[in-house]
Structure 1
Amino acid sequence: MQSPAISRKIFLVATEESGDRLGAGLMQVLRQRLGDAVRFEGVGGLAMARQGLISLFPIEELSIMGFTAVGRKLPMILRRIRETADAAIAAMPDILVIVDSPDFTHRVARRVRARAPAIPVIDYVAPTVWAWRPGRARAMRGYIDHVLALLPFEPEAYRRLGGPPCTYIGHTLIEQIGSLRPDAEEQQRRDAQPPVLLVLPGSRRSEIRHHMAVFGETLRLLREQGTAFEPVLPTMPHLLDSVREGIANWAVQPRIAVGEDEKKAAFRIARAALAKSGTVTLELALAGVPMIGAYRAGPIEMWIALALAKTPSVILANLVIGENVVPEFMQRDASPGKLAAALRDVLEDTALRRRQLDAFARLDAIMAIGSQSPSASAADIILATLRKLRKPD
């Protein structure tokens, strides 16, 4: 007689929108694999709620940027860390999966490991030990059992730095390739005049505040110098008011594309982009859109970031390609004059534009696009960990 399936309880912690999407994708695959034999508890957002998770608290409470803002909210943050760890220990799950946001999730993991060391801990999204705080990799061995990496060079970095086992599962952008690349009609628009220029000031209100004025001046200067273009500014619904306020005084008014679908449609017809450095640079590269990267922040944040940085570039696309093909402009270097000059280079048929396109064409091989989805690969490792825990009948 076949023994009944063993029910598994998985406790997940994701405190940002990007982590919420990752957690939801993982939950969906695990539910497909395990059916009713899996239960989820923990912390997550709307996407994870749609997969059946009842979050301990709204993750919007933790949408905080900047050292001053964090300082004001520190008592609440520390309370939520304690509450999350206490809930995980009380639940006694078969496995704890923390998703990104290491400043929060790693504090939870350390508390759980100290008080319930039998609970295995999987870290979904490798902390950027290769960029700063390399000593954190070795420290993670004390409370993380396996790291799931989104970038292909991260397992070697963790091995070199003495971190826990680390496996490349693929970036979630791999799952969006079809919606990022143009069909024949969209390619015609990408090649037509005036060219579509994407303007991407950031995905947080603080980033928008730092970049909007200089990006607006860049467009004005580019237009005054005789370059024709059609500007499109993709954003999300919750940032729309901040974006509208930011562009109110722009001499060159962009079309605003709201939501993921409109954003991707804009990517498919764009010829070039002015982007705040971040994940969006890899998204643009996979879409085949040449770009320049810019980054401005408060003086304290920037001083700390530059002091701790251990990488040859802050542009994610450059790091994955292994070559600085995307020009980057930081703080005072991110001036309208320099940005406008660089944008002309990627809008026109120049050596810089051709070099970027050649490099972007290598990304499919570099990122192993065409294998199974990152969510499925993450589920494989979690299920393998659960199988090791299963006692013989």
Structure 2
Amino acid sequence: MSLFLSCGETSGDHYAGRLIEAVKSKVAPVWGMFGPEGTMAGGHALWGLEELQVMGISEAFKEIPRLMRLKNAMADRVLSEMPSCVVVIDSPDYHIPLIKALRKRGYVRPVFYVSPPTAWAWRRGRASALRDLKVICLPLFEMEHLFYKQRGVESHWTGHPLLDDLSGYVPEERVLRNTDASPIAALLPGSRPSETRRLAPVLKGAGLMLQEMGYHPVISIAKNLSARDREMIKSICHPLTFFEGKGVDLISQSQFVVGACGTAAVEAMMFDKFMVVLYKASLLSYIVFKVMIKTKWVSMPNVLLQREVYPELLQGKANVGAIKRAICMYLENSAKIHKDLLEAKNKMGRRGAYRLWADVILERIGR
């Protein structure tokens, strides 16, 4: 009895690792596409996480032929091995077509979607697609859970997995070596190569500005980036300080955060840290985003509250002057902002997400 698991993001690989740990005593092997955390937990990676490391419409278009070949190869392997179930995490532009291909070719066993598409924000038809494909959703936020249930999709939720990850949290390694006593400003260029290339120059400028303000800016370099991309960030952002450990460790020790939108915004909220959210994509990607998006905000703390607590600087607005104004605004209104962050954090549910995911999966496959 085996389980096929596929994810395409660094955060998804973390969820993959925790899920593998929760089910491996009852179902093995767990195989598919994931990264180092999934592998360290005991999974067998036939494809690496980097297969889906693309960002934006224009970049994705160039990769369509390769991604089609990957999807077909993956579907062939699943239908050959016939695992007890399929679990996909994030990356809906890849995973929904994969699920459709599997269903069309006769795979009738359970399919689960951890961190399903943000259909509440855009492309709402995806909810109907998941319902028709009989996909069982395991979302991260209650608002997503309710959205899917209201549209006839089976969904299970108890809380965000970060509540488990950060329970009794202690940084695994020292955030800085040979640092001074200045308060740390965490600068996060993201985990996708194209994203880091666009944000690194902005963050260097922000870092130099923060030094003048009396802070110690530290650039986080994601572990999943290739050696070439890591060196690119260091070359652009020299002479700032770099941190190559877990981004969450740097966030936890910082005064505030500036960087790419995504899981980092939720992690910052959990640590009660202010964040300036940056987003820079290709012009085509941004036009599509503006036309199709159904929500006013891109960061989840703002979405949860339905108002801005984290300033969002998109495209050309992601510049040093705007970042400085946002930080000065925070310093003048910190009490209110931290009250808002507590309100958002209280919408995260309760601990037990990984156990719930495992229980739902194991029940459906009869283990």
Q: Normalising TM by the smaller chain, what interval?
A: 0.7 to 0.9
Which residue of 2 is the match for residue 58 of structure 1? 48
Q: Structure 1 279/18 Cα, relative in aligned 2: closer, same or farther at 3 Å? A: closer
Q: Distance in 2 between matches of 1:50 and 1:271?
A: 32
Structure 1 counterpart SS, 2:217: strand
Q: Structure 1 38/314 Cα, relative in aligned 2: closer, same or farther at 3 Å? A: same
Runs of 4 or more, structure 1, over 6 Å off, are none
Q: 1:325–1:355: 8 Å Cα contact kept in structure 2? A: no
Where does 1:29-68 land on structure 2 (aligned, <5 Å)?
A: 29-32=22-25, 34=26, 38-68=28-58
Following superposition, the deviation at residue 247 of structure 1 comes to 0.7
Mark the runs of 5 or more structure 2 residues left unpaired by the alignment. none
Which residue of 1 is the match for residue 356 of structure 2? 377
Following superposition, the deviation at residue 223 of structure 1 comes to 5.1
Q: Distance in 1 between matches of 2:13 and 2:253?
A: 29
Q: Which amino acid aligns with 1:122?
A: F
Q: 1:221–1:337: 8 Å Cα contact kept in structure 2? A: no
Q: Deviations over 1:154-213 (max 9, x none)?
A: 0122234x251122243332233247689xxx9xxxxx9733211122222211221222
Following superposition, the deviation at residue 16 of structure 1 comes to 3.4
2:68 equivalent to 1:78: yes
2:126 equivalent to 1:129: no
Shifted more, 237-246 versus 275-284: the winner is: 237-246
Q: 1:181–1:287: 8 Å Cα contact kept in structure 2? A: no
Q: Structure 1 77/146 Cα, relative in aligned 2: closer, same or farther at 3 Å? A: same
Q: Distance in 2 between matches of 1:60 and 1:223?
A: 34
Structure 1 counterpart SS, 2:281: coil
Q: 1:56–1:84: 8 Å Cα contact kept in structure 2? A: no
Structure 1 counterpart SS, 2:2: strand
Q: Distance in 1 between matches of 2:201 and 2:9?
A: 27
Structure 2 counterpart SS, 1:43: strand
Q: Among residues 263, 271, 274, which one is paired with 2:255 in the alignment?
A: 271
Q: Deviations over 1:221-262 (max 9, x none)?
A: 4555xx2211122222435312202213xxxx43211111xx
Q: Structure 1 180/49 Cα, relative in aligned 2: closer, same or farther at 3 Å? A: closer
Q: Which amino acid aligns with 2:126?
A: R
Q: Distance in 1 between matches of 2:6 and 2:202?
A: 37
Q: Structure 1 381/325 Cα, relative in aligned 2: closer, same or farther at 3 Å? A: same
2:174 equivalent to 1:195: no
Structure 1 counterpart SS, 2:31: strand
Q: Which amino acid aligns with 2:360?
A: I
Q: Deviations over 1:118-162 (max 9, x none)?
A: 2121111111101110111112112133100011210122234x2
Q: 1:177–1:287: 8 Å Cα contact kept in structure 2? A: no
Q: Distance in 2 between matches of 1:194 and 1:166?
A: 46
Which residue of 2 is the match for residue 5 of structure 1? none
Q: Structure 1 364/332 Cα, relative in aligned 2: closer, same or farther at 3 Å? A: closer
Q: Distance in 1 between matches of 2:189 and 2:31?
A: 35
2:342 equivalent to 1:361: yes
Q: 1:211–1:296: 8 Å Cα contact kept in structure 2? A: yes
Q: Among residues 233, 245, 250, which one is paired with 2:219 in the alignment?
A: 233
Which residue of 1 is the match for residue 166 of structure 2? 177
Q: 2:276–2:326: 8 Å Cα contact kept in structure 1? A: yes
2:15 equivalent to 1:9: no
Mark the runs of 5 or more structure 1 residues left unpaired by the alignment. 1-7, 187-191
Give the TM-score normalised by structure 1: 0.82
Q: Distance in 1 between matches of 2:170 and 2:343?
A: 15
Where does 1:163-174 land on structure 2 (aligned, <5 Å)?
A: 163-174=152-163
Does 1 or 2 have the higher relative contact order (CA < 8 Å, sep 6+)? 2
The structure number with the bigger radius of gyration is 1
> Percent identity over the alignment?
25
Q: Among residues 279, 298, 301, which one is paired with 1:317 in the alignment?
A: 301
Q: Among residues 234, 237, 245, which one is paired with 1:247 in the alignment?
A: 237
Q: Structure 1 167/204 Cα, relative in aligned 2: closer, same or farther at 3 Å? A: same
Q: Structure 1 232/220 Cα, relative in aligned 2: closer, same or farther at 3 Å? A: closer
Q: Among residues 192, 203, 206, which one is paired with 1:218 in the alignment?
A: 206
2:11 equivalent to 1:23: no
Q: Among residues 300, 303, 315, which one is paired with 1:331 in the alignment?
A: 315
Q: Which amino acid aligns with 2:33?
A: V
Following superposition, the deviation at residue 337 of structure 1 comes to 1.6
Q: Distance in 1 between matches of 2:215 and 2:355?
A: 41
Q: Which amino acid aligns with 2:106?
A: A
Give the TM-score normalised by structure 2: 0.88
Q: Among residues 245, 249, 252, which one is paired with 1:259 in the alignment?
A: 245
Following superposition, the deviation at residue 62 of structure 1 comes to 3.1
Q: 1:16–1:59: 8 Å Cα contact kept in structure 2? A: yes
